């Protein structure tokens, strides 16, 4: 699967409170409305400016904190094609796979704000088309890649009738 879009840069330790703030707790059953506030407390310009296909590019421990799946869900709803970070918090990583949002663990330091990126999930490559640099990452395990490619855990179970590792 090849993805292409523009990079939005974030720092380290972006928490689920940054992504889906608690003050919008009452919007959790209204995800399109909640998505208007995605990452509001990290970058106020993100929700209004993000375009379908764009990438979130971050540092260490992206998505730390609560188990709220609403966090990766509204990132996906905002049109983001994948999150690239130096590392992910465990629950956010798992939630992302389960809802079909690609999460890529890779050294992101060579990517600048606004760069045009091309990501190949199966090959494990990130190409920065703006500065010509490239990085490789270890593709997801075959089990996780299958869940992701099925469109998340629910679609995976509907397709196979069970969890198939």
The minimum distance between CB 58 and other proteins, in angstroms, equals: 13
Q: Are 118 and 134 in contact (CB under 8 A)?
A: no
Phi-psi label, residue 112: left if phi above 0, alpha if psi -120 to 50, beta otherwise: beta
The minimum distance between CB 17 and other proteins, in angstroms, equals: 4
Q: Does 140 bind other proteins (CB under 8 A)?
A: no
Q: Are 45 and 36 in contact (CB under 8 A)?
A: no
Q: Does 76 bind other proteins (CB under 8 A)?
A: no
Q: Does 21 bind other proteins (CB under 8 A)?
A: yes
Give the interface segment with other proteins, choosing from 45-53, 109-117, 125-133, 156-164 (CB under 8 A). 156-164
Say which residue the tokens 């890529």 belong to.
104
CA-closest candidate to residue 18, choices 3, 46, 39? 39
* Rounded to 5°, angle at Cα 30 from 67 and 148: 50
The minimum distance between CB 49 and other proteins, in angstroms, equals: 19
Chain residues binding other proteins by CB under 8 A are 13, 15, 17-18, 21-23, 25-30, 41, 60-61, 64-70, 72-73, 87-91, 94-95, 98-99, 141, 143, 152-154, 157-158, 162-163, 165
């Amino acid at each position: 699967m090849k993805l292409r879009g523009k990079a939005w840069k974030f720092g380290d330790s972006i928490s689920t409170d940054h992504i889906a703030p608690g003050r919008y707790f009452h919007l959790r059953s209204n995800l399109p409305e909640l998505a208007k506030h995605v990452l509001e407390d990290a970058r106020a310009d993100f929700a209004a400016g993000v375009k379908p296909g764009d990438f979130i590019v971050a540092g260490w421990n992206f998505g730390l904190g609560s188990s709220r799946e609403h966090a990766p869900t509204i990132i996906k709803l905002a049109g983001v094609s994948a999150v690239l970070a130096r590392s992910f918090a465990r629950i956010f990583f798992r939630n992302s796979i389960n809802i079909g949002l690609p999460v890529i663990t890779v050294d992101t330091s060579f990517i600048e704000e606004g760069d045009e990126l091309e990501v190949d999930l199966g090959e494990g490559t990130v190409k920065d088309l703006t500065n010509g640099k490239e990085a490789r990452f270890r593709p997801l395990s075959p089990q996780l890649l299958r869940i992701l490619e099925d469109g998340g855990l629910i679609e995976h179970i509907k397709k196979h009738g069970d969890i198939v590792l």
